[in-house]
Amino acid sequence: MEHIELGWNDFWAEIFRVKHRRAIQGIQDYDRLVVDFCIGVMGLKKDNEILDIACGSGDQSIEFARKGVKVTAFDISETLIRVARERAKSENVPIGFSVGDMRAMSFTQQFNAAVLLSHSFGFFNHEVNRRILGDVFAALKKSGKLLLDLMNPYNLPRFHKTWTELEGGYLLSEPHMLDAPAGVLRGRPALFVDTEHDRIVLMDSDALSNNDIRMYTALEIHAMLNEVGFKKVEFYGQNTLPRMPYSAGSERMVVVATK
């Protein structure tokens, strides 16, 4: 079998964020619950504007739009934005789409709220991560809210090596490993046995470089948010209702910051 290395946008984005995600049972119900939580906790009203940063294939953007919130769905992957746009069109929900890098956002006082869901924060070094929070602050209107839906660094999920059958082949996901001294959750290379094209697809260096996530504690996130100007910072222990207090054993660490 031929071995080939492919990148995030060319190949892996669709495998992970479309084929793998949509194969998860009950994922649409989960997205609805997460969006209901976000709308409630941020006090969003109909026609308020939200920036869904790192929106992936737009599954939550679509749920926000269904609730009457005006969404700008933003992601680095053209492939994912195309998939999200097609789905929004077929479901007849209005959404604005934007392909872009969260390290180079230039929105100014445009949004009532911004979200980074499914732990889409911490991909870069500390300075860059903090700059992104500053750019989100600039993108929000006065009293705007930012919601970060993060894994709880004190209660990480148990990652396993898994084989998953997907359309066109089999995905091998290796478990993430916590590099505790560096405070980084290191993703490991995945592999796809592409039975349609009789080849094994590996991650290229670009896809691999996006695999690491800096894990912040609540205190560190709080300090960063204050540094970039957010006044009020609250923490919750899950990303669905009811609102649960955050603790070491919580399922998630959800951060809501107010400008």
Ligand X SMILES: C[S@@+](CC[C@H](N)C(=O)[O-])C[C@H]1O[C@@H](n2cnc3c(N)ncnc32)[C@H](O)[C@@H]1O
Catalog residues that contact ligand X under the rule CB under 6 A: 13, 17, 54-56, 59-60, 75-77, 80, 101-103, 117-118, 120, 123, 210
Which residue's CB is nearer to ligand X, number 17 or number 214? Answer: 17
Q: Shortest gap between Cβ of 197 and ligand X (angstroms)?
A: 23
Interhelix angle 27-42/59-66, nearest 10 degrees: 60
Structure tokens that stand for 221 in this block: 């996130």
Which residue's CB is nearer to ligand X, number 51 or number 117? Answer: 117
Q: Shortest gap between Cβ of 1 and ligand X (angstroms)?
A: 28
Please state, in angstroms and rounded to a whole number, the distance separating the CA atoms of residues 222 and 218. 6
Q: Shortest gap between Cβ of 101 and ligand X (angstroms)?
A: 4
Taking alpha carbons only, the member of 11, 9, 97, 25 closest to residue 61 is 97
Q: Shortest gap between Cβ of 103 and ligand X (angstroms)?
A: 5
Q: 191 pairs with which residues across the strands?
A: 172, 202
Which residue's CB is nearer to ligand X, number 13 or number 39? Answer: 13
Which residue's CB is nearer to ligand X, number 10 or number 199? Answer: 10
Which residue's CB is nearer to ligand X, number 53 or number 228? Answer: 53
Contact (CB, 8 A) for 139 and 107 = yes
Which residue's CB is nearer to ligand X, number 110 or number 199? Answer: 110
Contact (CB, 8 A) for 247 and 152 = no
Count of C-beta atoms within a 10 Å radius of residue 167: 10
Q: Shortest gap between Cβ of 198 and ligand X (angstroms)?
A: 28
Structure tokens that stand for 38 in this block: 């976000």
Which residue number places its CB atom closest to ligand X?
A: 56
| Sequence-distant (≥ 6) Cβ neighbours of residue 145 within 8 angstroms | 42, 43, 112, 113, 114, 256, 257, 258, 259
Q: Shortest gap between Cβ of 2 and ligand X (angstroms)?
A: 26
Evaluate the CA torsion angle 159, 62, 32, 91 in order and state its sign: negative
